[in-house]
Structure 1
Amino acid sequence: MSVRKRRKRHGILLFFILLLLFGLYLYKENTTFGVTMVEIEVNGLPESLNHFRIIQLSDIHDSKFGESNSDLVNKVNGLSPDAIFITGDFIDRNRYDLDQSLEIVKQLQDVASFYFVTGNHEISTNDEEHIKNELTELGVKVLSNESVLIGNGEGEQIAIGGIEDPLSSNLDEKEYVEQVINEAFQDIPDEMFKILLSHRPEQFNVYVERQIDLIFSGHAHGGQIRIPVIGGLVAPGQGWFPKYTSGVHELDGTIMVVSRGLGNSLVPVRVFNRPEVIVVTLTSSTK
């Protein structure tokens, strides 16, 4: 065999080996998840809520991690949360399996308090009231343009608010978000620390204008394909090279945590974009 033919054969073999390795990498990246730890200092945080631990589960899209989601359940349980936030797209309209996703809540309902807001997929199933009712029966606090207070009830409290996904309205998205944030926090004192659960990160400027302290959001799926240094490639509501796809964003005292989410929808594959569970710990500011 000539040297040229040997090199060609070796080149083809190397190509298929690399292709196989990349395929194995993609499989692992799309069937397992990581945990992202975030600590946020809060000025004037009530002492009773110092080191309050929140787990954010976003964009589950009826995905599974282990039998009956045991991998996800065991991980969340082991992280000992004080609250669990589900920030929309708990289910997927294209392969709707509510019972499968409810299993997560059933197995964790005694671990921590659950709070839920809709995403666009809940709305587009036209079954959102059934979804909300099922969650409510399991003890989940469904936040529909409203807020609740947590704390020790002696003046040391913070507000957790949540808004419906804009798909539920015919209003312009920005106009709708402005309106329902006002509705959600209408009875909350201005000086009280406010947490907002809202599916859509692209409305960050509205959250800043409304002086929300901390937002939990998702929807962007991490940009689906993450390009090193650059970030996400595309996201609904933001288009190409979106700004808000992952991590912590801060502007004028407002902080937004954006989850890359756990599942996929129309696009079934993530690249360099592992699903994630976010753990946020609130601590009293030392400033």
Structure 2
Amino acid sequence: MKKWLVLLGVIAVVLYTGNKWIQTTEITIESENLPPAFDGLKIIQVSDLHDATFGDRQSKLLKKIETAKPDLIFITGDLIDSNRYDLQNSLDLVEQLISLAPIYYVTGNHEIATNDVVHIKTSLSELGVIVLSNEETVVEKEGESIRIIGIEDPLAGVPVAEALSIFEQQDNFTLTLSHRPETFSDYVKNGLDVVFSGHAHGGQFRIPGLGGLVAPGQGLFPKYTAGVYEENETSMVVSRGLGNSVIPVRIFNTPEIVVVTLLSK
């Protein structure tokens, strides 16, 4: 009987930490292309919230982000879940984050799937969020600048490769928000410096020493689930995300926010 109680206790701890305990993952990326004025720039990536709740009005999640003291905040899609759509639950977080740092946002497949994407974008824009739908913007500091590109989720009808083709390749250091990590080769071909993606949910169930088990768009034993992937001059940061969708639990895969610090070589 005691063994069963211990086993149940272990399962309960694994399930709780795998779904409610937020991890802060810190990543440093160095680049010769980064203008010196942006050396030390700190970006927090929030991805795949899926209408999950972390404390009253997202208080636990808010505290984690506040503690990291971001210069910029990137939201890389699936802020809501199309299966249990509750926009206000996600706006509760954004309403409090907007005073911390400029927020940039791109859609994920779940925003598109609600058929309410215009309302979602408008609601975020009215709060001061910079919504990028196959668009770009420039951030300037001390006479230097970097470019930020936002890719609309391809469920809206435009494949990632086609969306990227509208942007000129240039020497300006480029940060890209794009929900889908499985199109990594497209980011590399376009010479993007740093790409922020989500969607894979860390592989949902992570096998210690092996990685994630399954991810949308990649199937079993997916290649791009968490951390940094590099090829040529492109680095892709993949967040494990915060919430769940079709599969309601995570195992050995705690929710996370990602803190990326950029350094110029």
TM-score for both structures, normalised by structure 1: 0.90
Aligned pairs for 1:177-188 within 5 A: 177-183=160-166, 185-186=167-168
Is 2:140 the counterpart of 1:160?
no
Say which SS state the counterpart of residue 240 (structure 2) adopts: coil
The one-letter code sitting in structure 1 at the alignment partner of 2:227 is G
In structure 1, the residue matched to 2:12 is 23
Is 2:83 the counterpart of 1:94?
yes
The one-letter code sitting in structure 2 at the alignment partner of 1:179 is E
CA contact (8 A) 1:49 1:151 kept: no
Shift of 1:182: 2.1
The one of 218, 228, 247 equivalent to 1:248 is: 228
Following the alignment from structure 2 to structure 1, what is the Cα–Cα distance between the partners of residues 161 and 155?
A: 14
Following the alignment from structure 1 to structure 2, what is the Cα–Cα distance between the partners of residues 96 and 123?
A: 12
CA contact (8 A) 2:37 2:142 kept: no
The one-letter code sitting in structure 1 at the alignment partner of 2:71 is D
The one of 50, 53, 72 equivalent to 2:61 is: 72
Aligned residues: 265
Aligned pairs for 1:165-204 within 5 A: 165-169=153-157, 176-183=159-166, 185-186=167-168, 190-204=170-184
The one-letter code sitting in structure 1 at the alignment partner of 2:102 is S
Following the alignment from structure 2 to structure 1, what is the Cα–Cα distance between the partners of residues 178 and 103?
A: 15
Structure 1 moving runs of 4+ over 3 Å: none
Is 2:96 the counterpart of 1:104?
no
Following the alignment from structure 2 to structure 1, what is the Cα–Cα distance between the partners of residues 59 and 35?
A: 34
Structure 2 unaligned regions, length at least 5: none
Following the alignment from structure 1 to structure 2, what is the Cα–Cα distance between the partners of residues 44 and 199?
A: 24
CA deviations on 1:162-211 (whole Å, 9 max, x unpaired) are 11101000x6xxxx21111122x23xx61111111000000001111111
The one-letter code sitting in structure 2 at the alignment partner of 1:260 is R
Is 2:24 the counterpart of 1:44?
no
CA contact (8 A) 2:14 2:251 kept: no
In structure 1, the residue matched to 2:242 is 262
Shift of 1:36: 0.2
Say which SS state the counterpart of residue 259 (structure 2) adopts: strand
Following the alignment from structure 2 to structure 1, what is the Cα–Cα distance between the partners of residues 24 and 54?
A: 14
Say which SS state the counterpart of residue 263 (structure 1) adopts: coil
Say which SS state the counterpart of residue 53 (structure 2) adopts: coil
Root mean square deviation of aligned Cα: 1.2
The one of 98, 101, 111 equivalent to 1:122 is: 111
Shift of 1:15: 2.9
Larger Rg: 1
CA deviations on 1:44-82 (whole Å, 9 max, x unpaired) are 322221111000000000111111100111111121101
CA deviations on 1:196-236 (whole Å, 9 max, x unpaired) are 10000000011111111110000000000000111000000
Shift of 1:153: 6.7
Shift of 1:25: 2.4
The one-letter code sitting in structure 2 at the alignment partner of 1:17 is V
Following the alignment from structure 2 to structure 1, what is the Cα–Cα distance between the partners of residues 156 and 216?
A: 16
Shift of 1:13: 2.8
The one-letter code sitting in structure 2 at the alignment partner of 1:38 is I
CA deviations on 1:218-256 (whole Å, 9 max, x unpaired) are 000000000011100000000000000000000111100
CA contact (8 A) 2:178 2:196 kept: yes
Shift of 1:23: 1.6
CA deviations on 1:65-110 (whole Å, 9 max, x unpaired) are 1111001111111211010000000000111110110011111111
The one-letter code sitting in structure 2 at the alignment partner of 1:166 is P
